[in-house]
Structure 1
Amino acid sequence: MNFDLTEEQRMLAATLTRFIAEQYSFATRSSSACSPEGMSRALWRRFGELGAIGALFDPADGGFGGTGDDIAVVFECLGRGLVVEPFFGALVAGRAIARAGSTAQRTWLARLIDGEAVMALAHGEPESRYELARVATRATRTSDGWRLDGAKAVVIGAEQADALVVSARTQGALDDEDGISLFLVPRDTPGFTLTGYALIDGGRGADLTLTGVTLPPDALLGAEGEGFATLESALGGGLLALSAEALGAMETAFAATLDYLRTRRQFGVPIGSFQALQHRMADLAIELEQARSAVINAQAALDGPRLARERALSAAKYTIGRTGGHLAREAVQLHGGIGMTWELPLSHYAKRLVMIDHQLGDEDHHLARYIALGRAAPHA
């Protein structure tokens, strides 16, 4: 198995890294995060011009990438810069449209790739507790289309989105995989109420209430009742993206901590010369490499057989959650009191790592899922 990046992927990584370093300073990031929209539309278009959004999608969908390696390259760069622009929503909503969308619905992909549109996926619910098939929101057929009723919780990027992919149950029991349908819903649709709020990591989320939301027949994304496989594929890309983003954030936090230990002096010497602190950093370096291996494995498995893919994704998300939390705590402690200050970027990296652990399932959830998938493997 070849783990080397292609020349195009290396060029993309170099271009994106340089752009973030030169034009996406921490002050710029804070300005975007603290704005009413929680992002910069101008910067979003710039990312589109650079090809960073297009790299997330297959050439057949108007992009020039779309593999696990492409997704990981982009999101690792975003993690290093703590980028708040809505790449995650673009990836998961875009993958759902690319897999199941009609010709008319797929026109959103071109706007998304160019940075002219923003999209989000509204799937998680107040009582779902990370379970992908647990959908209580209902979609009912009407004489002229569909009616949606229900609620969605902590939808990342909902306030910025021009349209959302929304999951709803058209048949079956609460936890059935069969009977879940997906709908493409414009943001300004009547009956669609959004309550936005700031998240701990500088991003923004929103709770959605759908009360008698009326949609035309062509709002259905894919076949009725067959949305689970599309959701699993879309959120599989999301799991890889979050894992790669966390890897980039961890590498940056580790490098900042190492630099601090080399420059902060106590008793006339750098504190990095103290053996106890060297041991702690060595342990973190080992864990960081283990996390990278898990992400690389998930990259390679993304387009493979379902069971192997889902196990690799859960393994990566579990490893990232465990390692990210440990590295964040260690980095803050090794910086001392300054590690908790708002002015130091490190504290924001730590908060982002905590938030990533809880997106799409925390480490406990994915450890249990990995074990359950392993038990199912001989019978698959």
Structure 2
Amino acid sequence: MDFDLSDEQMLLKETAERWASDRYGSLEQLIVARKAPGGFPERGWAELAELGLLGLPFAESDGGFGGGPVEMQVVMEALGRSMAPEPYFANIVLGGTALRLAGDDAQRAAILPGLIVGSARLAFAHGEVQARYDLNDVATTAEAVDGGFRLNGSKAMVLNADVATMLVVSARTAGKRRDEKGISLFLVPSSAAGVAIEPYATQDEGRAADIVLTDVFVPQDAMLGRDGEALPIIQRVADGAVAALAAEAVGLMETLHALTVEYLKARQQFGVSIGSFQTLQHKAVDMLVAVEQARSMALYAAMMVDAEDAEERSAALSAVKVQINRSARLVGQTAVQLHGGIGMTMEYIGAHHFRRLAMIELMFGDTAFHQRRIVRAGGLLTER
């Protein structure tokens, strides 16, 4: 099987990496960018639109560029390598995937043009405090009323919700809190009456928010997809998120490994570079092996993320997340050990990579959660 990128994909990779490196090639540039309103510079977002990256995963018929999982992997890896703070993951990967999969022609025509040029932004408001990683655990309700629905409930840890113009909100139109049936998706303007957004900084210097919905009215045409049948769409959004995070983590780990090797070459002890010590060389090799294991699973994620068989796809993406989490922990912790005290100081860029990897380990399911999913699925290899 040929895993080499095509000429067009190589050009995309070079473009994304050059943009990310020019904008965020140093910790100083990154700190300045994070201090901007919303946690990122508007000019950076406009540049992503100009490069066509905001329209990458959307169909050409919708004004996008028709990119697939491999193209998204290339971009997410480049953004991860430089820790670009723009809300690409929240806006394009999460919210954009929900709209792309569940939106009808009219909904896509109304929202995607603004999304592609950067004037509109989406946030995927699904997680709730009591649910942890269970996607079917939804307590927010959507009551049918004359002309539409009235939403009540709360959402937790909604990424970049404070800069979103529109929220993709999951709410229960039927059934009990943990029923798989009865969940629907709605497009809710972030400025709608009754929507309260409480933003805060995350541990990796990103942005998230808790959202409270109090008697929020939306018209009938605000529903994305079929009434009560949103869980398969939500699962596909989550699977796509795991694939994107895998690619981002590879970029982060690659950079952190390079920083560590450079430090080992430069740091002197007993009159020689500590990189000459065999034990530390072995540690650096362990990091490289973990990076390459993660890279192979990120490629596997790109292969499986659009698989039609939901059970096969979910089991595959769970296996991806398990290995990504393990590699992220090994690479991050080993980098800190080899750097010594400086590896944990926020004045050093490597510590920021470590924090982001620690966050990725917990996003959309930790290692134990995904191991349980693989076991319930009977493993990756099943009899046909």
TM-score of the two chains, using structure 1 as the length reference: 0.96
Which of 102, 105, 115 matches 1:103? 105
1:226 deviates by: 1.1
Matched, 1:320 2:324: yes
Letter in 1 for 2:368: D
Counterpart CA distance in 2 for 1:118 and 1:24 is 22
Matched, 1:16 2:54: no
Matched, 1:257 2:260: yes
Counterpart CA distance in 1 for 2:28 and 2:3 is 35
Which of 344, 350, 354 matches 2:354? 350
1:309 deviates by: 1.7
SS at the partner of 1:22? helix
Matched, 1:309 2:318: no
Structure 1 range deviating more: 121-130 or 34-43? 34-43
1:72 deviates by: 0.7
Matched, 1:179 2:182: yes
SS at the partner of 1:56? coil
Letter in 2 for 1:93: G
1:358 deviates by: 1.2
Aligned residues: 380
Say if 1:124 and 1:152, in contact at 8 Å, map to a contact too.
Answer: yes
1:144 deviates by: 2.3
Query: Identity over aligned residues, as a percent?
Result: 44
Matches within 5 A, 1:26-175: 26-90=27-91, 91-106=93-108, 107-175=110-178
Say if 1:71 and 1:240, in contact at 8 Å, map to a contact too.
Answer: no
SS at the partner of 1:85? coil
Equivalence for 1:366: 370
Listed one character per residue, the Cα deviations across residues 27-63 of structure 1 (whole Å, up to 9, x for unaligned) are 2322222333112222111011112222233334332
1:356 deviates by: 0.8
Counterpart CA distance in 2 for 1:164 and 1:296 is 30
Matched, 1:194 2:197: yes
Counterpart CA distance in 1 for 2:4 and 2:75 is 15
Matches within 5 A, 1:191-230: 191-230=194-233
Superposed CA RMSD: 1.6
Matched, 1:248 2:251: yes
Equivalence for 2:7: 7
Letter in 1 for 2:336: V
Describe the shift of the 1:74–1:181 C-alpha distance in structure 2 as closer, same or farther (beyond 3 A).
Answer: same
Counterpart CA distance in 2 for 1:170 and 1:160 is 27
Letter in 2 for 1:119: L
Listed one character per residue, the Cα deviations across residues 105-156 of structure 1 (whole Å, up to 9, x for unaligned) are 2131121122222211000000011111111111100012100111100000
Which of 240, 264, 267 matches 1:237? 240
Counterpart CA distance in 2 for 1:64 and 1:307 is 29
Describe the shift of the 1:376–1:52 C-alpha distance in structure 2 as closer, same or farther (beyond 3 A).
Answer: closer
Say if 2:312 and 2:380, in contact at 8 Å, map to a contact too.
Answer: no
Matched, 1:268 2:267: no
Residue ranges of structure 1 left out of the alignment (5+ in a row): none
1:221 deviates by: 0.9
Which aligned segments of 4 or more residues in structure 1 are displaced greater than 3 angstroms? Answer: 375-380
TM-score of the two chains, using structure 2 as the length reference: 0.95
